[in-house]
A and B are shown apart, each in its own frame.
Chain A
Amino acid sequence: MDNKKRTIIQAVAAVLQNGHIAGFFTGRIYGGGAKHFCVPGLNCYSCPGALGACPVGSLQSAVSAWKFRFPYYVLGVMVFFGVTLGRLVCGFLCPFGFLQDLLFKVPAPKKLRTFRGDMYLRYLKYAVLLLMVLVLPFVYKTTPFFCKYLCPSGTVAGMLLTAADERLRGLLGWIFTWKAAVLTAVVLASAVIFRPFCRYLCPLGAFYALFNGVSAVRLKVDSGKCTGCGACASACGMAVDPVKSPNHAECIRCGQCVSRCPHGAISFSHCLSRSSPEGREKA
C-alpha cells in the first residue's frame, strides 16, 4: 500500500464521516438517524459536518449518565471495530489521525522518530482511557472528562461551530482557552513527531491497541524473504520494528513498512492465515 493511496482513503473516510456540509455554514449540527451509529475513529459528534456519533463521546456519556446502565451497545461497537480492524482504524479511517499525518508533512527543522522515554510515555493513553473516559465520568456524574478537558477533535468542532454561530462565540470561556492550548500543542508537536496525540493521549487508540494482537486484519512477515536489512523499521513512523513484532500495539497498520521492504517480505494478512510455517507468531 503506497502512501498516496492511503492518503486518498483517509481523505475519503474523513469526508464521508463529515459530509453534512450545510453545518459548516449554518453552525447547526446534523440531527438525522445516521447518528444512531458510532463511527470507527475519533470524530466529535458536535462537529458541524459529523454524520455519525463519536465512540469515545458516546461511551463517556453512557458511563456518566445519572442512572447507570452498562453501555452494551457502544462497547460492543468498539470491540467489533477493535477485533476486526484493530488500529487499522487509526491508519486509514480516523479523521484526527489523518489531520496529524498532514501536519507531519509540514517542514520542520527536525523530525523526531523516537526519543528517550517515548515508549514509556505511550502508556499515558491507557491512563487517559481508564481515568478520563471511564472512572472519573462514572464517579463524578455528567462530566465527560476527556471531552471537556482534553479532546482536540472537540476543540476543532468548537472552532468551526463558533465561527458560524455568534451566540456560541459569546459563551466561550477558560475551558475553551485551555482546550485551544491543548490543540495548539498537539498541532505544533505533530509537525515534529509523527502522531503525538495517537502515541500519547488518544483513549480510542489505546482501546484499539488492546486488540491489535488478535484483530482480523494483521501484518505478516515472511521470514524466508526477510534479510534483516531493517528498512521497514526505519520507515515506521510509530517506531515499531515489524519484523520483531508485526502486530505490536503501537502499529497503526499504515503499510509504510509493507511498501518500503525491498524484498516484499511484509504483507497485510488476515486472522485465518498462518503467521509462520510453525503456526506461531513472534510476541
Chain B
Amino acid sequence: MTDRRRMILTAALLFTAILLIAAGVAEGQYHQVLAKATRICLECIGIG
C-alpha cells in the first residue's frame, strides 16, 4: 500500500470512529456502559 493511500484510510477510520462515538453519545449509550460496568457481572466472575 502506498503511504498516501494508507494516510487516507487512517483519516477515514478516525473520522468513522468519531462519528460512531458521537452517535453513541447522542443515543446515551454510555449510560448502558455505566449500568453494566457498575454491577458485578456474575458471568464474568464465573458464577454465571
- Complex CA distance for A80 and B11, rounded to whole angstroms: 11
Q: Are A31 and B6 in contact (CB under 8 A)?
A: no
Q: Are B10 and A179 in contact (CB under 8 A)?
A: no
Q: Are A36 and B20 in contact (CB under 8 A)?
A: no
Interface size on B, residues (CB 8 A): 39
- Is A275 engaged at the interface, CB distance under 8 Å to the other chain? yes
Give 1 or 0 for each of A25-67: 1 = CB within 8 Å of chain B CB.
0000111110111100000111000101110011001100100
- Minimum CB distance partner of B43 in chain A: A148
Given contacts A36-B30, A73-B30, A215-B10, contact A158 B23 (CB under 8 A): no
Q: Are A275 and B24 in contact (CB under 8 A)?
A: no
Q: Which of B3, B9, B24 contacts A73 (CB 8 A)?
A: B24
Given contacts A74-B33, A83-B14, contact A69 B47 (CB under 8 A): no
- Is A16 engaged at the interface, CB distance under 8 Å to the other chain? no
Given contacts A73-B24, A83-B10, contact A175 B47 (CB under 8 A): yes
Q: Which of A37, A76, A147 contacts B41 (CB 8 A)?
A: A147
- Complex CA distance for A62 and B19, rounded to whole angstroms: 18
A147 → chain B closest CB, angstroms: 4
Complex interface residues of chain B between 1 and 45 (CB less than 8 A to chain A):
1-4, 6-7, 9-10, 13-14, 16-25, 27, 29-34, 36-38, 40-45
- Is A84 engaged at the interface, CB distance under 8 Å to the other chain? yes
Q: Which of B14, B34, B48 contacts A175 (CB 8 A)?
A: B48
Q: Are A46 and B40 in contact (CB under 8 A)?
A: yes
Seen from chain A, the residues whose Cβ lies within 8 Å of a Cβ on chain B are 29-33, 35-38, 44-46, 50, 52-54, 57-58, 61-62, 65, 69, 71-77, 79-80, 82-84, 143-144, 147-148, 151, 154-155, 157-158, 161-162, 168, 171-173, 175-176, 178-180, 211, 213-216, 271-272, 274-275, 279-281, 283
Sample (10) of A-B pairs whose CB atoms are under 8 Å apart: A36-B31, A36-B34, A73-B27, A75-B20, A76-B22, A79-B16, A147-B43, A151-B44, A162-B45, A215-B10
